[in-house]
Amino acid sequence: MNAADRVIVFGTGSLYADFIELIRCQYRVVALVESMPRRQELDGYSVHTPESILSFDFDFILILSSYTAEIRKRLTSLSVPNDKIRTLDELNDVIDIAKNIVSQAVITSNLQMVKGDFLPNEALSVRMVINSLGKGGAEKSLITLLSSLATQPVSVSLMSIFSANEYRQFIPENVTVLSLSDYVENQNVLRLALRHATPSQINHWFGNRTFDVDIAYIEGWATKIVASSASKKKIAWCHTNLAENHWTLNYCFWDSTEEKSAYSQMDALVFVSYDSLAGFKSLYELSNQACHTIPNLICTPTVNQSIKKDETFFTFASVGRLNVIKGYDRLISAFSRLIQSGVSARLIIWGEGEERANLEAQIRREGIEQYSALPGFVPSPFDGREPIDCFVSSSLTEGHPLAIGEALLAQIPVIATTNGGSQEILEDGRTGMLVSSSVEGLFNGMYKMATSPNEQMKWKVASSKSRLLDDNKVTLQKVIRLIGLKS
């Protein structure tokens, strides 16, 4: 491939917007293709159906879409040779430009240096790396951990990679924050560069300063960066069961060999539940790393007791990213059945994510708009802004579910689909109702909770018996010892 290559671009969404300038610097774009064209022209290029492709002279078709497999299959069915179908990951010159953009950002932001010392030189230097500071349980638990370490003799730097920053405002003042997204506006370009960067390139970008302890506080990108550092002690946290939710593969890491190699560079691995540890061990066998099971720190919600309960409706609530793994499509289906059965109830799901449009469409199809709400992300959903009668987790899998923990600490009855992480935090059903991981299971549990005052009282009392407050104290002591502080 060279600068004279004629390219048809398939896809006009966010990847197109992020990469078209880089692409036309290297290639001659002859046409755009959409699966179902919504316009005839975009940026001076004509827009066509897939069936029109063969009428053009082109050297290759570039897929700019997250639906790569489906588009490749469709192009193949139209007799497009496989060697004429490309993705961004196959365009070395575009990848090199992306790497250069990151290199310049590192120089501009001085990311390789800590911009200030808040404690004497003898304090332990710790860097924590997180994929982003947005809308997730891992991110929220990190804020709680940073606040808990504020009284310790430790100098903490926090590096955030991507641009979601909802929790940034809650970072303690004594923590130095280094955010790469402040200097690389195009997040997809950043992902492309990181996906293709070698360990030495990553070390050159982010690893020139040696820390006493370097922590990847989540799997994926953060783990890739810390694995390449030269710090004295390297620790990786894993917040999910990778055997059931292997989102990092073919996204952050090319294959399991690369991911295993990254984890093999760590001195210690931390899993937020025994279930996440078991899932990891079913994928990777590492002999030289100490493995620890340390649940997330969970901040006790401050509940506004003056909020009056709505006696008209029984209120179910859930909190989490609006993505497939949270199973909200099943929750909405179960709730729709509940309404059809004559129960007076409403459902609130706090959060944001890529499934919002699909979930909103499902709510409309089910005809339950007046009983359901997706109000978006809020940092403290259990503070009493809404009277909640029952918290529901419909997840397919969980690591150590922070939202369930917060509901328990607020003494709100909990229903959760059965999975390893939820079973652990609910002590195998002692402090919350576990139901089968299905629409039927969710419906049965919700119906029982909404129609039986005895069930409501039973699970409210059960939630008050959670060991989470004691677990928090143990968790903090484990982290302190792990990073090398005196407990």
pTM of the predicted protein model: 0.87
Residue 207 banded pLDDT, cuts 50, 70, 90: low
Q: Report how far residue 430's alpha carbon sits from residue 426's, in angstroms, rounded to the nearest whole number.
A: 6
Going 284 to 290 to 293 to 296, the CA torsion angle's sign is negative
Around Cβ 82, how many Cβ atoms within 10 Å?
Answer: 8
Q: Which helix (H) or strand (E) holds 102?
A: helix 92-109
The CATH classification number of 314-467 equals 3.40.50.2000
Q: Report how far residue 203's alpha carbon sits from residue 226's, in angstroms, rounded to the nearest whole number.
A: 9
Q: What does each C-alpha distance from 71 to 33, 35, 80 come to in angstroms?
A: 11, 9, 11
The reported pLDDT for the residue numbered 105 is 83
Mean pLDDT of 451-457: 94
Residue 398 has pLDDT above 90, yes or no: yes
Domain definitions of the chain by residue range: 6-90, 98-293, 314-467
* Beta strands per DSSP E along 210-355: 213-216, 233-238, 268-271, 290-293, 314-319, 345-350
Residue 232 has pLDDT above 60, yes or no: yes
CATH superfamily of 98-293: Glycogen Phosphorylase B; (3.40.50.2000)
What does the pLDDT look like over 139-168, one tens digit per residue?
A: 999 999 999 998 889 999 999 998 878 888
The reported pLDDT for the residue numbered 122 is 59
What does the pLDDT look like over 336-385, one tens digit per residue?
A: 999 999 999 999 999 999 999 999 999 999 999 999 999 999 888 887 77
Q: Report how far residue 19's alpha carbon sits from residue 402's, in angstroms, rounded to the nearest whole number.
A: 36
The CATH classification number of 6-90 equals 3.40.50.720
Is there a shared CATH topology between the 6-90 domain and the 98-293 domain?
Answer: yes
